[in-house]
Chain A
């Protein structure tokens, strides 16, 4: 198996794109250890042959007609969507640059 230690917490936090302070790493590691110990209770359940249930009613995904429609329908609608973004440029979401200039 594995041990829940501070390195694991840091690794998982990195995967989740969360910055943790050293204090948080410490607290979360001990809480995570306790919670994971608790959820290991599930190991005693015999699940062989049981199909996983991911949704209470296992509905079929409803399909819509394959037709292009525009959302938002108006410029006003567009600006309402952009309004909550921290930075916009040319009517678009501004994202940080991911390719270096060199």
Chain B
């Protein structure tokens, strides 16, 4: 039954026609998840989900039809990246450090989805503390690509992307610090969005790099991404960086047909300077060409500081991480060792923090280095200065254009193990997604093709700050109109 549906509208139609009930659908999903080999879920919330399904059933019995105004996500089965807390449900961040952590509160993003009627099936696998581009850094084993099992799904929200594509949920939440929603969405062939920084509350999101982290939805269609964003966006007093901008109805906005005629599309020269896998290059170019046939204007723009973005990111993100992860001290979280009486305090901390995996340790060390006395000015401060130059590049470009299009990643999904020994090569996979986080902009990945092995390619759409609605409208028009060439 599950495989009859891959978006919210289809499920709601089935509910309205009484073809299936939320309880039946939820049971089917758990059956499918348990039979799957993808390692997408870390924790299943079966009892909790069945209660939510029961409640959805009752609402449907009372109302007959899905009451979209009050419960826009009624009975929609979703998955949550295991970096967002749910009260009473284990939240691990795919780390041994939090293997047994039961949070006392629920993330605002999850709270709002549940209030809208969504059913949370479970917590999704990821790179440890959201650090990684391949999902190989999970302490609980890698997530497999949904269709090519020798490949990575991308990271760090790899469980989220695989779960959506393999239909182990209808939509999922991920988080995006340097591309962690958009990269796996691209590698798995679904839609993933990082909204403008501050659009979705970070309350209950376990912090990696606070000035970059943003929650983002992943789904099969742009419309579903808009629906989730609608429910989650809006000011939250529990997050001091939550935006106080006026509420926009994204779903209504994309319902009105968006005309690409006279749309000014920026094509950044620096993003097409070679190094792209041939299939990626040709797919993105045919997408651009299609936009042109719809009357859009392609305008070449310069983002001259692009080549510094990865370096800036790997100073700022790791510096913030080294500070954020200082809290894991085995006093409030973690595991304690029995021979503690023998230890002094420093040894006590060191032993406790051995629970971190290699990538997390590597980043804490790099961050501690950048912030330590003698290196601060040359690294952290300079990186923050170049960050401003990167933001100014975008400001300038968006004076000329409405949207910027590029590939999401230079390649399609790579093989498991291919890049694990070379962290720098792994970091460079995020070259096109990182600048967006540094500048705080909204961006999304929408499928635009496949390479000769059938691996999906994502088109990266970047909008100006607070331009999330228009970005979704453009993506929706592209998704509806563009025919993907399968090969």
Contact = CB atoms under 8 A, between A and B. Distances in A.
Interface of A: 2, 8-9, 12-20, 24, 28, 31-32, 34-36, 38-39, 41-43, 45, 47, 50-57, 59, 61-62, 72, 77, 80-81, 83-87, 93-96, 98
Interface residues on B, range: 35 or more
Given A17-B326, A28-B362, 13 more contacts: A13-B365, A35-B424, A36-B366, A38-B314, A39-B315, A43-B382, A53-B385, A54-B211, A56-B439, A57-B243, A72-B104, A84-B102, A96-B340
B336 A41 contact: no
Contacts of A34: 423-424
Nearest to A54: B384
Contacts of A28: 361-362, 365
B354 A19 contact: yes
A54 to B, nearest CB: 6
Contacts of A45: 305, 308, 382, 385-386, 389
Given A56-B197, A87-B336, A16 B383 contact: no
Q: Closest 10 CB pairs between A and B?
A: A56-B440, A52-B384, A80-B104, A53-B388, A19-B350, A86-B336, A47-B385, A17-B349, A16-B368, A39-B311
B389 A12 contact: no
The dominant DSSP class at the A interface is loop
Contacts of A93: 331-332
B368 A12 contact: yes
A9 B364 CA distance: 11
Contacts of B427: 35
A15 B368 contact: yes
Contacts of B356: 18
A15 B372 contact: yes
A56 B211 contact: yes
22 contacts: A2-B374, A12-B369, A16-B322, A34-B423, A35-B366, A35-B423, A36-B369, A38-B424, A39-B315, A42-B311, A50-B385, A50-B388, A51-B385, A56-B198, A56-B439, A57-B197, A57-B440, A59-B241, A62-B240, A80-B87, A83-B102, A86-B336
A57 B368 contact: no
Nearest to B441: A56
B353 A41 contact: no
